[in-house]
Amino acid sequence: MNYVHVGKIFDSRHFMKECALLLNWTEFEKDLFMNICCDGGLISTANLLELFPKIKKVIAIDTRSTSKIYEHPKMEYHEADITKSSSLAAWKGKITKFISCYSFNGLESFDEAFENVFDLLVPNGTAALYFTLNTSYCTFLDEVIKKWLKLDGIPSYQGVPAVQKQNLDAKYFETLARKVGFDVVFCESFLQNMYFVTDAEFIAFFDVVCPRGLTTLLKEAFQKDLIDKLRKNSERNNRNKVTFKRTVLKMMLRKPVN
């Protein structure tokens, strides 16, 4: 069985190289990219501009503001929601290439998201999506978070992502993309086995799910509770490292000229 260290899980460069090959990304000087990011562009946009330095501009969007923005003369960061067309009006019909790595799995409304991506693109524009369909840790992760939500002052939490609750698969998303009007260039899911070596890797990977608003003391207690739960519910590889399984989807789409 193939195991991947968690440090390589979010390295999107390999996927971007696949996109360049299958979607014929060759000329970038006039390209307006849009990238959905949840890291202020610190990883995904940096990877884009490192691999394709001739890109004209990258519009990086997220639903919330952040102080940690990847600063680059070719990048603009905006608050916008891919499921809300009103927040995207400025770029409708102007995007030549759209990419999202590990952001679509957090959405609640996929119909609106796919329709908006289609509307954002110019004719013959392309979209590349790379996101998680389900994980072996999501259910008990949800149990830990809900327990902590009972504390006063802890903000709400949406729970298990819709994509996993509804057991959506590659066929569902391929059908949705075609219904919206896309030509599907590539659509395939695959199983990924990831492993952790240290507690620090646990904490870094799952920090994104830590309820916002926790004091430092409560956050440390939450993380300890989470790590204990993860260890009890995980498998181990032949080197006795904690491992988890997840199914990941790769999609590459093209908007027809007519």
Cα 16 to Cα 11: distance, rounded to the nearest angstrom: 10
How does DSSP classify residue 79? E
Cα 113 to Cα 173: distance, rounded to the nearest angstrom: 11
The whole-number pLDDT of residue 183 equals 98
- Cα 187 from chain centroid? 16
- List the pLDDT tens digit at each of the 258 positions of the chain: 555 665 555 668 889 999 999 999 988 888 999 998 765 555 678 888 889 999 999 998 987 766 556 678 898 888 899 999 999 999 999 999 999 988 888 788 899 999 999 999 999 999 999 988 988 777 777 777 777 777 655 655 556 677 877 888 999 999 999 999 999 999 999 988 877 777 777 777 766 666 666 677 777 787 788 778 777 777 776 667 777 888 999 999 999 998
Cα 35 to Cα 58: distance, rounded to the nearest angstrom: 7
Cα 52 to Cα 31: distance, rounded to the nearest angstrom: 11
The whole-number pLDDT of residue 151 equals 65
The whole-number pLDDT of residue 9 equals 57
Distances (CA, A) of 36 to 94, 101, 117, 201: 16, 7, 11, 24
How big is the CA angle at 111 (ends 190 and 186), to the nearest 5 degrees?
35
* DSSP codes of every residue in the chain: ---EEGGGTT-THHHHHHHHHHTT----TT-EEEEE-SSTTTTHHHHHHHH-TT-SEEEEEESS--S-----TTEEEEE--TT-GGGGGGGTTTEEEEEEES-GGG-S-HHHHHHHHHHHEEEEEEEEEEEEEEESSHHHHHHHHHHHTTSTTPPP---S-HHHHTT--HHHHHHHHHHHT-EEEEEEEEEEEEEE-SHHHHHHHHGGGSPTT--HHHHHHHHHHHHHHHHHH-EE-TT--EEEEEEEEEEEEE----
Tell me which residue has tokens 């990883």. Answer: 43
